């Protein structure tokens, strides 16, 4: 019994802090999406002590942050390097390696990328919230074959392509609900932007909510 307590103390005192040690600083570059100009503006570099992280720099449900220090780079042969939040890196890497081994067409991946492209618009027309990509908890797959569409409650000719390449369900690299890529990412807890409710369909996009 005493041994157990000593062991527990040892783990807490010596090993715990090694794993729990937060980074010293938080570094990132960001921008704001302006809805009037339809472009990214106010690019800036941010660097401050990690202890000064504000609530809008932390994703509340996952604990992932906008800091480069909390991202892990993933390098898989045949795919460009990209980074994601360290909490998700293992799962995402395993899933994409498996898909590559099965010769599934994972052509390009975008992960961590900080920017305010979400949420309400301020009086100058700037978005005011960080996207899921900003925290490294969203990935885009095959952007050239899986565009983001607006005016698209259900997919049809009225849908308007606003980012990425045209989606054709029978084209190599385009994703559908039957694609092994979509099914694999759903099996690790992601939702697909091609199946979200609302006006937009984001066929390249995966995140815990799909948005």
Closer Cβ to Zn ion, 28 or 136, answer by number: 136
How many residues lie near Zn ion (CB under 5 A)?
3
Residue the block writes with tokens 């690019």? 43
- Provide the minimum distance between the beta carbon of 171 and Zn ion in the complex, in angstroms, as a whole number: 19
Identity of the residue, 17 or 191, whose beta carbon is nearer to Zn ion in the bound complex = 191
Closest CB to Zn ion among 114 and 138?
138
| Angle between helix 180-187 and 86-101 (nearest 10) | 150
In the range 8-47, which residues lie near Zn ion by CB under 5 A? none
- Residue sitting closest to Zn ion (CB): 205
Which of 69, 72, 73, 85 is CA-nearest to residue 27?
69
Instruction: Indicate which single residue of 111, 182, 205, 210 sits in contact with Zn ion (rule: CB under 5 A).
Output: 205
CB of 123 to Zn ion, least distance (A): 27
108 three-state secondary structure: coil
Contact 206, 189 (CB under 8 A): no
Cβ burial, residue 115 (10 Å; 0-12/13-18/19+): buried
121-180 residues in contact with Zn ion (CB under 5 A) are 138, 140
Task: Confirm if 174 and 183 have CB atoms less than 8 A apart.
Answer: no
Region from 1-9, 45-53, 163-171, 199-207 binding Zn ion, contact rule CB under 5 A: 199-207
What residues make contact with Zn ion under the rule CB under 5 A? Answer: 138, 140, 205
């Amino acid at each position: 019994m005493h041994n157990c307590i000593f062991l527990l103390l040892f783990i807490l005192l010596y090993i715990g802090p090694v794993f729990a040690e937060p980074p010293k600083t938080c570094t990132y570059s960001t921008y704001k999406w302006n809805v009037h100009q339809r472009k990214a503006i106010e690019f800036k570099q941010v660097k401050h002590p990690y202890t000064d992280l504000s609530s809008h720099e932390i994703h509340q449900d996952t604990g992932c942050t906008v800091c480069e220090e909390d991202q892990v780079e993933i390098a898989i042969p045949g795919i460009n390097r990209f980074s994601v939040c360290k909490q998700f890196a293992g799962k995402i890497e395993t899933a994409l390696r498996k898909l590559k081994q099965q010769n599934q067409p994972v052509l390009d991946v975008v992960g961590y990328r900080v920017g305010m492209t979400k949420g309400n618009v301020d009086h100058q027309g700037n978005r005011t919230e960080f996207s899921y990509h900003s925290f490294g908890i969203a990935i885009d797959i095959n952007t050239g074959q899986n565009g983001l569409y607006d005016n698209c409650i259900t997919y049809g000719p009225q849908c308007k392509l606003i980012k990425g390449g045209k989606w054709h369900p029978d084209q190599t690299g385009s994703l559908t609900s039957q694609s092994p890529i979509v099914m694999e990412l759903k099996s690790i807890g992601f939702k697909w932007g091609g199946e979200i409710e609302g006006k937009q369909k984001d066929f390249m996009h995966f995140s815990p909510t799909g948005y």
